């Protein structure tokens, strides 16, 4: 638990606050005591949700529905005020251990857990509420049995997210296929999630494996669940029924209860810890035994909670709202030593096997974007660095000094990276409009509606390529349409008189002059962002498990490399190597001719955005959720040279020019780093 900050309230609705428990997409959560002395979790809604004129009405309806939920395996709402300046709610505070920190469980415990969760869903659905975010962290193993948390209020927050961004709501890896497609989620979606939770409880992994959100969403829509680890026949029959792709074929929670009853001994008592392994029962008993006393203060009036940064997922994952659950019977989990990191294979290079101490990155300057997080990737041109913002601003700074030059305002947020050429900067706002802005003055030159897409615009040979349902090849100077091709689901690449466009299950090469298709390369596993150089086109498939190298002239496969993890970024192609990064933090250098591995380096943190190469150094963004940063890695040997580390995540690809590395960070700042490394502190 974190201490209260100066801007935090000391009381909310008569509940005295003791400290911060955390934050989610809906708001800040505090540990408090009710007027009668009961420990409660108090969630205060984030201000940006209140800006939605319909949010308060939805919140009010969902509070009423959540109050109606009652059951042995759910958690009650204690108090709420939908009419407050910042709406809030208080729930029971449940000491215990989240399921995601208690796996794997033995089969009898998983079957008993399934019965308890099915009974919880009966109560939730009877009240007219659909959970929509049932996942292991929302199942608490408490002293009085398993409890389902975060139900009901999720609808109000989720609807606001959908209104703002067209988002799919839920947690990738545990949501039903219809939910992953953005369709309405009914009670059957909760049953699917229950099955996924039981797979996780038994095996320690979800039914779609591991990977970044957009890969898990793809698997939910296009693949059958992976159940090889579920070997018990009775349990497998239960989860297979729950995980039916067709919602109408899934059992109801009542039917699940009847099906599980024969496999749960009558003597099993879920209201306790005897049904769990002894060691886990001891952890549950110890959790939450040291709730602090209220901090002394002379001011007892409720202040407005300070604003805070919240988790955002870019790329395809920008369509997923994580952590929007509402009725949070928050848990204080006994702190334990972190598990030792999994052993990684040694790098093949002698230099990488015994590297000298890695240096710190040196910050030359940092400048605020005006937002709470910055996920747009910067671009450098003409002595300036340009970056988009969540508020819909395109910002220009002096590349050497960070001096603000101008701000251009678009109607909607800009989260893709801008492109720049010939004195113009091209930025795509989330309403599907491409803006061409004078790089010197920040004034609009032209704009054109091209359709909503998550792909960055690219500019090459006097044309700008961008678009959603159709790829638009636009005249870079005036915005007129030269030709159109099939839609670009991800960022294309241009080289050698062709533009290579990622489709859902194919890569298409178009002639840049005529727009005629030169060749099509089928990829049943999907196509992520493409890179093209030196006669190669490279991409990771959308399942992220293979990197493909295609002959740029003929469209024939040169080689594929099984990266062994989920590849999440665009490969980097040089004459010496093809560099591929994966979600587990691994960077692989591959021979451009054969795809054989030359070296491999393990970094800390997840890699989801694109590395860049400059001057023999590979600059890799890592850590998309917290403790993010940029690594500088020797491109020839894989030796880690220096690392810039931030407290928040980095979901922005770096840009390099003039000996400076530029990167956005989820603390809302644009950073300029010395490409040589060193040590130093930020200015400005």
CB atoms under 10 Å from CB of 171, counted, come to 25
Structure-token pair, residue 326:
């509402």
Q: What is the DSSP string of 370-437?
A: SSS---SPPEEETTEEEEE-TTSEEEEEETTT--EEEEEE-SS---SPPEEETTEEEEE-TTSEEEEE
Angle (nearest 5°) at CA 89 between 84 and 93: 155
CB atoms under 10 Å from CB of 278, counted, come to 8
Dihedral angle computed from the Cα positions of residues 498, 502, 505 and 510, in that order, rounded to the nearest 10 degrees: -20
Element (H, E) at 161: helix 154-165
Do 4 and 303 meet the contact criterion of CB atoms below 8 Å apart? no
CB-based contacts of 53: which residues, under 8 Å, 6+ apart?
A: none
DSSP class of residue 582? B
Structure-token pair, residue 2:
């974190």
Half-sphere exposure of 118 (CA within 13 A, CB side): 23
Which of 79, 133, 158, 582 is the catalytic position? 133
Dihedral angle computed from the Cα positions of residues 595, 598, 604 and 605, in that order, rounded to the nearest 10 degrees: -10
Do 588 and 580 meet the contact criterion of CB atoms below 8 Å apart? yes
Do 493 and 532 meet the contact criterion of CB atoms below 8 Å apart? yes
**507 backbone φψ class: left, alpha, beta (φ>0; ψ -120 to 50):** beta
Q: What is the DSSP string of 171-196?
A: -TTTS-HHHHTT----HHHHHHHHHH
- Per residue, what are the HEC states of 605-662? CCCCCCCEEECCEEEEEECCCECCEEEEEECCCCCEEEEEECCECCCCCCEEECCEEE
Cα Rg, the chain, nearest whole Å: 26
CB atoms under 10 Å from CB of 141, counted, come to 29
Residue 433: exposure state from Cβ atoms within 10 A (0-12, 13-18, ≥19): middle
Dihedral angle computed from the Cα positions of residues 403, 409, 413 and 414, in that order, rounded to the nearest 10 degrees: -50
Residue 133 is among the residues annotated as catalytic for this protein: yes
- 614 beta partners: 617
Question: What crossing angle do the helices spanning 107-126 and 253-260 adopt, rounded to 10°?
Answer: 150
- 500 beta partners: 493, 509
- Tell me how far apart the alpha carbons of residues 630 and 653 are, in angstroms, rounded to a whole number: 9
- 367 beta partners: 670
Q: Which residues are catalytic?
A: 133
């Amino acid at each position: 638990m974190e201490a209260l900050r100066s801007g935090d309230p000391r009381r909310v609705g008569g509940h005295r606050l003791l400290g911060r428990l955390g934050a989610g997409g809906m708001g800040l959560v505090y540990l408090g005591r009710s007027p009668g002395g009961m420990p409660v979790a108090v969630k205060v809604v984030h201000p940006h949700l209140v800006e939605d004129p319909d949010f308060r009405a939805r919140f009010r309806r969902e509070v009423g529905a959540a109050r109606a939920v009652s059951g042995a395996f759910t958690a009650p709402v204690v108090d709420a005020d939908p009419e407050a300046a910042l709406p809030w709610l208080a729930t029971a505070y449940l000491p215990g251990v989240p399921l995601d920190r208690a796996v794997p469980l033995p089969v009898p415990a998983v079957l008993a857990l399934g019965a308890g969760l099915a009974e919880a869903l009966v109560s939730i659905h009877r009240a007219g509420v659909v959970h929509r975010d049932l996942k292991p962290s929302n199942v608490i193993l408490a002293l009085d049995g398993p409890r389902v948390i975060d139900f009901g209020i999720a609808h109000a927050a989720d609807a606001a997210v959908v209104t703002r961004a067209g988002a799919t709501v839920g947690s990738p890896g545990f949501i039903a296929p219809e939910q992953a497609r953005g369709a309405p989620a009914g009670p059957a979606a909760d049953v699917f999630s229950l099955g996924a939770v039981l797979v996780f409880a038994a095996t320690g992994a979800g039914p779609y494996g591991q990977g970044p959100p957009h890969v898990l969403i793809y698997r939910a829509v296009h693949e059958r669940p992976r159940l090889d680890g579920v070997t018990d026949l009775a349990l497998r029959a239960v989860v297979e029924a729950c995980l039916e792709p067709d919602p109408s074929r899934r059992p109801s929670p009542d039917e699940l209860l009847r099906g599980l009853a024969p496999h749960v001994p009558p003597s099993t008592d879920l209201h306790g810890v005897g049904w769990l392994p002894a060691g886990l029962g001891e952890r549950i008993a110890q959790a939450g035994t040291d709730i602090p006393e209220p901090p002394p203060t002379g001011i007892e009036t409720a202040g407005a909670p300070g604003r805070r940064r919240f988790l955002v997922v870019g790329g395809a994952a920008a369509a997923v709202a994580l952590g929007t659950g509402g009725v949070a019977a928050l848990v204080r989990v006994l702190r334990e030593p972190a598990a030792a990191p999994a052993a990684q294979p040694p790098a093949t290079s002698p230099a990488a096997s015994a590297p000298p101490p890695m240096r710190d990155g040196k910050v030359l300057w940092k400048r605020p974007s005006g937002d709470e997080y910055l996920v747009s990737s910067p671009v450098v041109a003409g002595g300036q660095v340009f970056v988009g913002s969540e508020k819909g601003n395109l910002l220009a700074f002096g590349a050497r000094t960070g001096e603000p030059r101008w701000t251009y305002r678009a109607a909607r947020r800009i989260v893709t990276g801008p492109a720049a050429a010939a004195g113009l900067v091209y930025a795509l706002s989330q309403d599907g409009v491409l803006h061409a802005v004078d790089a010197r003055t920040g004034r609009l030159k032209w704009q054109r509606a091209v359709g909503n897409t998550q792909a960055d615009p690219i500019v090459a040979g006097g044309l700008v390529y961008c678009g959603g349902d159709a790829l638009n090849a636009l005249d870079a100077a005036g915005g007129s349409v030269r030709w159109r091709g099939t839609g670009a689901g991800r960022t294309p690449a241009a080289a050698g008189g062709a533009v290579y466009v990622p489709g859902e299950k194919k890569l298409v090469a178009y002639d840049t002059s005529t727009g005629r298709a030169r060749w099509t390369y089928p990829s049943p596993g999907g196509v992520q962002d493409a890179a093209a150089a030196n006669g190669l086109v490279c991409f990771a498939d959308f399942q992220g498990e293979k990197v493909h190298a295609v002959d740029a002239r003929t469209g024939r496969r040169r080689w594929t490399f099984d990266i062994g993890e989920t590849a999440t970024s665009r490969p980097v192609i040089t004459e010496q190597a093809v560099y591929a990064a994966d979600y587990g933090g691994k960077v692989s250098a591959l021979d451009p001719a054969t795809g054989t591995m030359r070296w491999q380096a393990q970094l800390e943190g997840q890699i989801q955005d694109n590395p860049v190469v400059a001057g023999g150094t590979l600059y890799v963004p890592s850590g998309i959720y917290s403790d993010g940063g940029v690594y500088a890695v020797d491109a020839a040997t894989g030796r880690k040279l220096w690392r810039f580390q931030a407290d928040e995540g980095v979901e922005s690809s770096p840009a390099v020019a003039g000996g400076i590395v530029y990167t956005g960070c989820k603390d809302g700042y644009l950073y300029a780093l010395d490409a040589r490394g060193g040590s130093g502190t930020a200015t400005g």
